[in-house]
Structure formats: structure tokens, C-alpha cells
Chain A
Amino acid sequence: MMRRLYALLIRLHPAQFRARYGDEMLWIFDQTRDMHGRRWLISDAVVSAMRQHVMRADAVEEPAVPQSADGIPMFISVDRPLPAAQILMRGAGLATLACACLLMVMKYDVQRRVPNFSFSTDSMWPKAPSMSFAGWMRVPAERNAQPVPAPAKVLRETETKLTPTVLLQRAREAVKLLFRTEPVPKPSEYAAAGQTMRFVSSDSLVKSRDPWDNLTDSLMDQFAKHDVVALGEWHGNEEDAEIRRRLILHGAFAKKVRYVVFECANSLHQATLDRFVSGAEVSSADLQRVWRDVTSPGACDASMYRDFLNEVRALNSYQTPSNKVRVLAADPPINWNYVKSREDWLKYSSHRDLFVADLVSREVLSRHERALVVVGAGHLWQRNIFMKEPNVAELLKRNDPERFYSVIRISGPEEERGRLNAAAVVVRRPVLLPMRQNGVGALPAGEWIGRGILVKLFDDSVRLRDVVDACILTGSAQELPLKPADNDPLYKTEKDRRMELIRPRK
């Protein structure tokens, strides 16, 4: 076998060299293969062939001009019927290089700009999560029953046969996009949710590297060590929204992370959510229910949550089926049509942490997949003395603490941020600060978490490192203004009704 390979390598040498030394080389191979090792001889032949073609291309000897019997030189033709082998090899190399460059450019451009490349199949999604959690098993099944299309049937709507016409059209689109110069609109500039949405990804990745890339790189690195990375947010905070937006747009996100566990989505509408993020058309009314019907009325009204789902949809539009990201609705499946009292509501709201933890365990950890969890920061604060029940972080860290990594953003009032910066000892921001390795971890948790909350959250002895695994330091003000909420008058009426229902009775 190795002898045949060696003979093949000899054949790769220029014909003149091969004719002159080929037999000798093969003979030496036979003589020395047990002495030197066959791999060494093979690699020597490879190097020799390359050297002959690259460095000795000019050493081709032209045949001597024969002379006639009377001493007069004769003429011969030195033209070859085919180009020399080394010329062909150089040409092949250059052509390969050019094609590789072109494909790289096309891939780069298509991955970031082309929204309509869909490779959906029936097996794109795993089965939707079953609602087996005990907390709402007490609720009659028919209350939650809602006709939803089977995922496989829905996904067929996005299938596209790769006919020659479609391929030609896609090639035209790719070429057109390669040479387009106008800026790509941001998802936030698109029409309101529910309209027929044709999204493109943000243009942030097309630009050159900026300081946020360091943060997203650090967050992505955590997925190499942990299966679940949880980002705690202040509901409605723009900076938190920007962090998760940039994270999912990281080039490696879709390759590494299969699920986004999203608190601002009612799990009753999981099928709608699946349809939307997979690229199918979803009506405005159906889609809005995903974030309007959460157990905390109005908590997810800010447009950033809709924008985030748009981003995931845009991300999926250019992913292969195996790389598509699924958003798992992490809010309990409350059906507000059947909530008539505070007690009805408490059946769902009092077990939100357990629901999220159960969902992550069932759909992510048991499948050995990775997930980004986006929940309110309070669900991640460990050693929180105000909360009576264990939260998401505490539940998930019970069994296998290494698989779960909690991250929150910290900031502070202008006059106190100097202390934070001094403890962090970092220059570039935003930055991810692992609490066990940074001075910020030794700061009292109560001074930096939940300042606006009137109740005492942590004992004085509790440090930031006891509460979360890492903090994001952006260096900005403590709280940025909230985005305007949903001002739909009909929804406002319904929201008021819900708020009235859940208000504690005196």
C-alpha cells in the first residue's frame, strides 16, 4: 500500500525527473523503508515533488539538437502538445485560491446580509416541550387547550425546493448583495411585530471590531465550559437588550448554542414562537400574545423583546437546519381567559423559577445541548434572603453547578462608579468580570444589586461572588431610560384588568 503511494508520489514529479530518477527512488524506498520509516520517505517524496514543481520549474532541459551526418545542425520542434505540468499545477493552485477567496467573500456576505436563505426540514426542531410541570397539572387540561398547528406541518410552509430557477435566483441575489453599498437597516427599524416580516440581521457585524466584541467573545468562551449561560436583565433595560442582541449575532453563537430560553414569552404560545423564529409568517395578533400574556402583566411590553425575537428569526434565516436557534418560552403557560382570581394567577406566578429550571433541565441539559437563558436578574441572584423559594440559578446549580453560569450587568450612580472601576482594574469596557477572579467579586452584594428595591435582599456579609458567577461592567449609568411600552388602548384595558385581578386583597 505504502509502496503504491510512494510510486504515485514519484509520478507526481516532472516527467523528466521521473524518467531519470524514478526507478532509483523506488529502489531506495524498497531498501530503506524498514530503516527510516515509510512515513518519513513519503513526506520526503511529497516535499521533493513540490520542490521540483515550484523551485525547479526552470531546470527543464531542452533536448539536444541532433546533427546530421555532414555536421549541419538539424532543427527540431520543442513545442509541447500540452502545457508543462508545472504550469498546469501553478494554474490549478491559483484557480483554487481565487475560488476559495470568492467563496469566502460570498459566505461572509451571505451570512450577514442575505435573509431569505432557508434550508428548513421537518426535523428542524425537536418536539415542543411538554407541559409536565406539577404546578399547573392542577389546572384542568381543557383550560390550556388551544389548537396549535403541528410543528412539522408548519415548517413545511417554509420549505423551498432547490429547483434550477430557485438556485439561479439565489445566485443573482448573492451577487447583487455582494456589490450593494447601501446600509442594511436594523431590525428595530422594521415594521411593528406581526406584519409580514422580512428581516435582515443587524449591520453591526459588518463593521470592524469594536469593544463590544470583546464582551461577546468572553461570553461565548463560557459556552466552552458551561452548557447554560444565563443573562440576568432589568426588564426593559436597553443595555441588557444590547448585550444579548450582540451575543446572538456573534459569529459562533448559532454554531454552539441550540436554544434561547426566554422569560418574556408565554409557553402557551410555544408553537407560535416556533413558527415565527423559523421564518414562517405569523399574524400580529398571534405574535403579540407571546409577550403580552406573560404572568407579570406589562413586564415585557418594551419593544426590545419583540426586536430580540426578530433578531433570532433573522439569524435563523441564514442558518443550516442543524444550526438554527430555537427560542423556548420560559414563562408558565398561563391562559388569562381563565384567570379569575389572584389564586388562579398564583398557581402560575409563584412557580416561575421552578418552571424555568424544569424547562432547562428537560429541554437542554438532558439533551446535552447548550442554551442562553434570558431572565430577570432576580431569578439569578443566589443567597437572596427576600425570596422564600430557590430561584433559577439555585435550582440549576443544585445538581451540577459547573453546567450553569450566571451573569448580570452591574453599574452604579455616577459618584460611586469610581469604586467599581477601581475594584475591577480594567481599562476596556464593556467587560465580563468573573467574580472569583476579580476584585469586584469582593464588593458587598447589597450595595451593588437592587439599589432601587426597598426591601433588604442580601445579608451584609454576602459578596457579589456569592451571588453570581460573573458581572458585566459597561461603565455606563446605573439605569438607562426604558423604551416606550406598548400603548395599544385595548391591550391597556386588558392589562388593567389583569393587574386588578392579581392585586393583593387587604
Chain B
Amino acid sequence: MKENLEKHLPMAPATLHILLALAGEDMHGYGIMQEVSRQSEGRYQLGPGTLYDNLQKLMANGMVDETDGPAGADPRRKYYRLAAFGRKVLSAEVTRLEGVVQQARLHLTMKPRRS
């Protein structure tokens, strides 16, 4: 399974943002776009084409599943849920990013060497 996880790392920004958006709750496509925008404070915008292209890929890889919406939801909208495998891959990516951030902080706080 470890090999399967690493195959998907590092993640493209769009993939990471979609998985992060779905980590909290099941959402439809437009909801994912709004959540990505909210999480990134408007700095990252997903277009519908990019969104569904990535969703198609994530579902093919087993990281996202299509699901029924919550009670009372518009039946015409498709809802998406983070699958267990997707959650593992997301955790692995977050761990990897933590390492990156740690290294970045370490190097940025060091005094520059004299040439």
C-alpha cells in the first residue's frame, strides 16, 4: 500500500485542494470550488473544467467516490466524498509538506554563509 501512496505524491495543487475541501464533508462540484476558494483565501481558483477533470482522475484512482447528497439536497447535483484511500494519500501529502516546511524554516532562519 505504501508504494501505492507514494505513486500519488507529490500532489498537484488542484488535487490537493480538492481533497482538502472534501476532507470536511461531502460536497457537490460548485461547493468544492467555493470551499477551495475559501481555504486559500481567494488565492487559488478552480474552474469547472479543471475541477471535473481532476475529480474524474481521483475517482479513477479510488480517492474520491460519488455519493448521494444529504437529505433535502438538489437531486440533480452529484455529490463527492473523500474515500479512505484518498484520506491516506492526503495524510501522506500533508506529512510530506510538513517536512518541506520544516526544512524551509530551518534554512531560512540560518545565517547566510560567507562567500
Listed in ascending order, the chain A residues whose CB lies under 8 Å from chain B are 17, 20-21, 23-25, 27-29, 31-32, 36, 40-41, 43-49, 51-52, 56, 59
Contacts and interface: CB of A to CB of B under 8 A. Distances in A.
A16 to B, nearest CB: 9
Interface of B: 28-30, 33, 45, 47-53, 55-57, 60, 76-78
B23 to A, nearest CB: 21
A24 B29 contact: yes
Most buried by B among A24, A31, A47: A24
Given A23-B76, A24-B29, A28-B33, A17 B56 contact: yes
A47 B33 contact: no
Contacts of B45: 36, 40
Nearest to A51: B53
A51 B33 CA distance: 19
A21 B56 contact: yes
Given A40-B47, A45-B48, A52 B78 contact: no
Contact of A52 (B47, B51, B53): B53
5 contacts: A21-B52, A23-B76, A24-B28, A24-B29, A29-B48
B53 A45 contact: no
A41 B45 CA distance: 11
A139 to B, nearest CB: 78
B48 A44 contact: yes
A36 B42 CA distance: 11
Contacts of A47: 47, 49-50
A24 B53 contact: no
A41 B30 CA distance: 13
Contacts of B60: 59
Contacts of A49: 49
Given A41-B48, A45-B49, A48-B49, A31 B30 contact: yes
B1 to A, nearest CB: 23
Given A23-B76, A27-B30, A28-B29, A45 B56 contact: no
Given A24-B52, A25-B48, A41-B47, 11 more contacts: A17-B53, A24-B48, A27-B76, A27-B77, A32-B33, A32-B48, A45-B49, A48-B47, A56-B53, A56-B57, A59-B60
A48 B33 contact: no
A56 B29 contact: no
Contact of B56 (A28, A46, A56): A56
Contacts of A40: 45, 47
A24 B30 CA distance: 8
Contacts of A41: 47-48
B30 A44 contact: no
Given A28-B29, A31-B30, A17 B52 contact: yes
B52 A48 contact: yes
A27 B77 CA distance: 10
Contacts of A27: 30, 76-77
Nearest to B32: A28
B77 A25 contact: no
Nearest to A44: B47
A29 B76 CA distance: 16
A25 B49 contact: yes
